[in-house]
Structure 1
Amino acid sequence: MRVHGEVSDDEEAAAAAGEPVPLTPPPASAGQQRLVVGYALTKKKVKSFLQPKLLALARKKGIHFASIDETRPLSEQGPFDIILHKLTSKEWQQVLEDYREEHPEVTVLDPPNAIQHLHNRQSMLQEVADLNLSNGYGEVCTPRQLVIMKDPSSIPDAVAKAGLTLPLVAKPLVVDGTSKSHELSLAYVESSLPLLDPPLVLQEFVNHGGILFKVYIVGETIRVVRRFSLPDVNTYDLGNNDGIFRFPRVSCATNNAEDADVDPSIAELPPKPLLEKLGKELRRRLGLRLFNIDMIREHGRKDRYYVIDINYFPGYGKMPGYEHIFTDFLLSLVQSKYKMLLSGS
């Protein structure tokens, strides 16, 4: 006999394989509202997000995760209280937009048109650049950047015209969830610029002691973890290649710097009040509730921070205690909705 809240072997195997999780709806205890969360995620995201520890806690709290079948009309599935999604096709986005209009009672996390803003690195940081977050806790900036759509041979002239200073970090323009969209290159001599592969964004590199802060946002909750990042450029032997260093994704969980022996002035987390204000402003401006911010602190400048990337529905499974944070967040959405209904709003 299964104890309520346990995850079966079939459920655990499905989650590990990234397959739809065959959860049977948990019995609602007296006075407990059963919450149905439909999800449309890639196999990779299912595997990393719907971990057994999340599924077990969700069942205890009356939350049922239901896989959405993309081959069937969405209106024929459910009923859902909440829809979680991270699929990038235009067809899916249109399906979801139509569903939102037909079913305003369902909370969609998050609106596809708002997510689209983060799929392009040209527009991604604009909301941060427009903020004025200079206060007693620090200053939040964005690196100067330039978009190159095509013709690598034009890059040196475009960089000179824009007044950008080498070295430059080159990032793919489009963020589509693939590992390639997170691959970085560091170009540090002018002759290396025509070797880059547009479409891309060039950002001025800011020395930051090799530490990056991943700021996870789940509704109003904020959690920060340290990751190793690109080392300061003066640590490289710059004479041994074509002037370009290529890197895979640099801020993944395997680069965890939480317990590393790092200079405290570099490892110190950004001030909580600054992060709370930044998170609140970006939630409002972006219209999103599930994202993370990649931040660095300029080396030698204790109070100057740069936002270098924003990612939608990031790898929450790497965030300590994510299962408690996420299930509480899902329940709070429904509680807020019921309060609005009772108040007649």
Structure 2
Amino acid sequence: MRLMEEIARQKDGDRDEEVVSIGGGLPQHVKVVIVGYALTSKKIKSFLQPKLEGLARNKGILFVAIDQSRPLSDQGPFDIVLHKLSGREWGQILEDYRKMHPEVTVLDPPDAIQHVHNRQYMLQDVADLNLSDAYGKVGVPRQLVIKKDPSSIPDAVSKAGLMLPLVAKPLLVDGSAKSHQHSLAYDQYSLQKLEPPLVLQEFVNHGGVLFKVYIVGEAIKVVRRFSLPDVSKRELSKNAGVFRFPRVSCAAASADDADLDPCVAELPPRPLLERLARELRRRLGLRLFNLDIIREHGTRDRFYVIDINYFPGYGKMPEYEHIFTDFLLSLGQSKYKKRC
């Protein structure tokens, strides 16, 4: 349905109070938040589900598709632009749009997104933060960037002092399936079989459980996922080669209802996660992202962030419809208060 068909009246471009037909019922006076979205077809299917759109309409939020064949400034007006498209051209379009329309909230800035699309820099802010308090310590696994020449990897690993096994991840996160294909290398010889550019991370035993921490503005939601099993010294001495596996946090089933060892399954302390999320929102300049976190096996308070994903699969997050619409509404109300 066209935007002008959705909005029955508009006051000179100022949507302080518009008459909007909601859910096909009688018009109601609401302060409409118009969200222009530019998403891949896969993202539209997983994110813009009927329940989300219905709840959004009831709250006065309208999702409007952005036509990529037309200039962005000719479309709208928008209160919020929600996007997840790749490519420099699209990034430049958004940057130009932000400069021309500072009143529009773009979720999120392209330059901030690019930062977490490169695994060389992705975890740097977590490492710099070096978060440690009464609730625990959060760090990152030791890692090494290899940009070319696989034959040099064993020597580079030895010089860096990294311990086997090592998780190998593609350097760039470009949205392709290949960028999420990970490998576990058990021995020095197998390292030469890897394909740079990549990042090598020390594998940290974590009881086969990963915590996926979804962040939507100031809201935080944590779910458990099954992960790779621990690797003992005996297994390490017996195994050789490269074991390839898909992105663990997406491929694995939920572990929320599984019968797990409480020491393994216990969620990270809420105050620790809130502080971590608050700091990373500020440092990364992002409001829509998730953290993949593991707890070092045998500890209760030693955590590692192993990946950061921009605009993750929120459709898999419990109650995402309510959390996301409340977030969009808060952004719209904040803008309205500023205009007043």
- TM-score for the superposition, normalised by structure 2: 0.91
1:338 shift after superposition: 2.1
Q: Deviations over 1:291-337 (max 9, x none)?
A: 00000000001100000000000000000000000000000001112
**Which one has a larger percent strand, Structure 1 or Structure 2?**
2
Q: Does 1:67 align with 2:65?
A: yes
Kept in 2: contact 1:227–1:253 (CA 8 A): no
User: Structure 1 residue 100 and structure 2 residue 94: aligned?
Assistant: no
Report the TM-score, using the length of structure 1 for normalisation: 0.90
| Residues in 2 aligned to 1:236 and 1:63: alpha-carbon distance in whole angstroms | 56
Consecutive aligned runs of 4 or more in structure 1 exceeding 6 Å deviation? none
- Runs of 5+ in structure 2 lacking a partner? 8-19
- CA drift of 1:237 comes to 5.6
Q: Secondary structure at the match of 2:82?
A: strand
1:295 equivalent to 2:293? Answer yes
Which residue does 2:37 correspond to in 1? Answer: 39
Q: Name 1:336's counterpart in structure 2.
A: 334
Q: CA deviation at 1:125?
A: 0.2
Q: What are the superposed Cα offsets for residues 81-123 of structure 1, whole Å, 9 maximum, x if unpaired?
A: 1000011110000000000000111110001011110110000
Equivalent residues in 2 for 1:182-201, closer than 5 Å: 182-201=180-199
The CA distance in 1 between the partners of 2:303 and 2:66, in whole Å, is 40
Aligned residue number for residue 21 of structure 2: 27
Aligned to 1:244: 242
Tell which deviates more after alignment, 307-316 or 234-243. 234-243
RMSD between superposed Cα atoms in Å: 2.1
What amino acid maps onto 1:207 in structure 2?
N
Give the AA of the match of 2:53: L
State the match for 2:118 in structure 1: 120
What residue number does 2:253 align with?
255
Q: Distance in 2 between matches of 1:242 and 1:71?
A: 51
Counterpart check, 1:327 vs 2:321: no
Query: Do the aligned partners of 1:121 and 1:201 also contact (CA within 8 Å) in 2?
Result: yes
Which residues of 2 match residues 198-213 of structure 1 at below 5 A? Answer: 198-213=196-211
Q: CA deviation at 1:187?
A: 0.5
What SS does the corresponding residue of 1:85 show, helix, strand or coil? strand
Q: Is 1:253–1:318's contact at 8 Å kept on the other side of the alignment?
A: no
Q: Which runs of 5+ in 1 are unaligned?
A: 1-10, 12-19
- Residue 272 of structure 2 is aligned to residue 274 of structure 1: yes
Task: Give, in whole Å, the separation in 2 of the partners of 1:236 and 1:115.
Answer: 41
Please say if residues 155 and 194 of structure 1, whose CA atoms lie closer than 8 Å, have aligned partners that are also in contact: yes
* Matched length: 324
